[in-house]
Structure 1
């Protein structure tokens, strides 16, 4: 749809998906958690982001917490321009919902973040995850999320039964990976595979943010197969960007 002369295109709501966006905001403000909202959308066979075409009796791709969160924090639904504007050449974003609704959701996110900080001071530092954002589940290809169990870090892929049915895959409700199970074999492999391309730092003695930064510098990516207890690893070694790949039994 064209905008005023000289302003380029005007972004307007998709009438098929706008009611879904409003539903997500309404349910979040009604104190429903992100996971509960995602499961409800999946159970109602609402097409998830990236789904195309009409719904069928075979089900649709399942919603995730991250997809729900991405909608709730996107200012464009309230007609606000995000960084870079509403789109190339666009002058106006037509709101899907009132600005005050978006502001209430943002305030609730901020309040919950503050509450976590006050009730668990230093928690972020104390619960540092060395492999944050680097491990995917081989069954569903989703990022595994950090979780604290028995006073140590784990990574978990939580996949409710209805998600598995909707996506037509076999997946346990929870897949867990203990961080300490990974660090030893991973460090040894990196030292062996990277030589002579790159000198791997003493990762076993490096802690917290420094260790996370060291792994990120290597562009470390992993896929964990719980059925075989196998970790597939990819990393970049040295300034020439030599790509390393390996499979580590755990």
Structure 2
């Protein structure tokens, strides 16, 4: 076979033995010393290759999980690229431990590539070269991949269940940025004796002398019926630093210009201010990196959990900035968005031609209407130079939808406005409103347009 010939010629090209490329990996830099980890992996690889050749080049990934495919690990990807080079300088690959390199079905994916370039892989689990043509070797690699995957899954399960118990039953602070209004203080030695002997201590939340009263004031304003926009304006008018500005060291990735509606909402909806410890407000989803190429694996995406998925301590874990009764009452303060009897037939269908945002439903002068503030809100001071708000009444748009429907179809009879809206929704067609030209355009390839008049 051609591949076998290439492998044999590579092996006989060096009378002193095979030239090996070493590959290793360490993922948790916080819990392992990369230099030490590389050292023992390299030592074991040298013991495996002793008498068969020597290691001439090294590839070692630091801070990359085994879950990532080789193409997304920097050194592993460099090793794969080197395979295609006829002058690569090595004849085989040696790996200290299969679980350090391969996860799940990764070896089965990579084996044809190794065979194509005539580069065998050596593993201590087999005491030498892996030959996928041998059934026992192939079965063992499948088993090792399953074991590597099982170890990751079990580690995740243990970590999640342990943290659930620590947060729910013990009210323990589990790391991360302390919420605005709190600071970290010492909470005694770590309950793990080994960690305690190394000087590791627990931490807990305590009220920040400057920012804590601000949080209490925010809840008082909300309970008094003030909107979040009004609270935001008041905070900025009083020149109170926003959370990112108040703790810049822990928030270098966030803008520190001013309070926003999002930051105010985040404070007023955080149950930790009632003195309870909260964990699992966010989750990590594993989405496909590329749906068209599943061999690239998954990527981690952070998403907010629903309130029912959060873990809340059964007892108070730190001083409260608001009572539980007031916190619950603050969550009940809402501005009615849809008053009974008010309907918006074009809700979600109209987009602003200036900024492409979905226009807001707005009741004005006893009629349904739509507006777009181009990303601005009442929480920020009005800028006289910004683009004016877009505004259009619903009846003005509905009157022209039958004509717009005829322009994009071959029908002879125009439907009534309600039927026209239903057909546009059924076809998934949106509308674009141009404030300057007072026109409505169907969001299709043909871009049919009608003027709605003044």
TM surpasses 0.5: yes
Q: Following TM superposition, by how much is the alpha carbon of 1:132 offset from its aligned partner in structure 2, in angstroms?
A: 1.1
Task: State the match for 1:108 in structure 2.
Answer: 333
Return the offset for 1:93. 5.3
Matched position secondary structure for 2:332? helix
1:88 maps onto 2:284 in alignment: yes
Larger RCO (CA under 8 A, 6+ residues apart):
1
Measured against aligned partners, the alpha-carbon deviations of 1:70-90 in whole angstroms (never above 9, x if no partner) come to 6489677777789xx741389
Aligned to 1:187: 402
Equivalence for 1:5: 158
Aligned to 1:238: none
Structure 2 counterparts to residues 43-58 of structure 1, below 5 A? 46=242, 53-55=254-256
Deviation at residue 104 of structure 1 after TM alignment: 1.6
Residue 87 of structure 1 aligns to a residue whose secondary structure is strand
1:170 aligns with 2:386: yes
Residue correspondence of structure 1 range 1-250 to structure 2 within 5 A: 5-7=158-160, 14-15=177-178, 22=215, 25=219, 27-40=221-234, 46=242, 53-55=254-256, 63=260, 67=262, 71=266, 86-88=282-284, 100-109=325-334, 123-124=339-340, 126-158=341-373, 159=376, 162=380, 165=383, 170-172=386-388, 174-195=389-410, 202-206=415-419, 215-234=424-443, 245-250=447-452
Question: For the residues of structure 2 that align with 1:17 and 1:214, how far apart are their CA atoms?
Answer: 49
Three-state SS of the structure 1 residue aligned to 2:392 is strand
SS of residue paired to 1:35: helix
State the secondary structure of the residue aligned to 2:386.
coil
Q: 1:87 to 1:135 in 2, by over 3 A?
A: same
Superposition deviation, residue 47 in structure 1: 8.6
Over 3 Å counting, the alpha-carbon distance change for 1:145 and 1:72 in structure 2 is: farther
1:155-207 CA distance string (max 9 Å, x none): 12355595564xx97222x43201111112233212331447xx99934255x
Q: Cα offset for 1:148?
A: 2.6
Give the Cα–Cα distance (whole angstroms) in 1 for the partners of residues 405 and 268 of structure 2: 37
More deviation in 18-27 or 175-184? Answer: 18-27
Q: How many corresponding residue pairs?
A: 214
2:283 aligned counterpart, secondary structure:
coil
User: C-alpha displacement at 1:129, in angstroms?
Assistant: 0.8
- After superposition, the Cα gap between the structure-2 partners of 1:175 and 1:200, relative to the gap in structure 1 and judged at 3 Å, is same
Q: Which runs of 5+ in 2 are unaligned?
A: 1-29, 31-154, 165-173, 182-210, 245-251, 286-304, 314-319
Q: 1:182 to 1:12 in 2, by over 3 A?
A: farther
Within 2, Cα distance between the matches of 1:183 and 1:231? 10
- Structure 1 residues 148 and 101: alpha-carbon distance in aligned structure 2, compared to 1, 3 A threshold: same
* Cα 1:75/1:55, change in 2 over 3 Å: closer
Name the Cα RMSD after superposition: 5.2
Q: Distance in 2 between matches of 1:12 and 1:181?
A: 55
The alpha carbon displacement at 1:134 in A equals: 2.3
1:240 match: none
Distance in 2 (CA, whole Å) between partners of 1:16 and 1:231 is: 46
Contact 2:232–2:264 (CA under 8 A) maintained in structure 1: no
**Structure 1, residues 116-149: CA drift from partner, whole Å, max 9, x if none?**
99xxxxx53x321111122233444443322233
When Rg is computed on C-alpha atoms for both structures, the one with the higher figure is 2
Distance in 2 (CA, whole Å) between partners of 1:100 and 1:143 is 37
CA contact (8 A) 2:260 2:379 kept: no
Deviation at 1:221, TM superposition (A): 2.5
CA, structure 1 residues 162+106, in 2 after alignment: closer, same or farther (shift >3 Å)?
closer
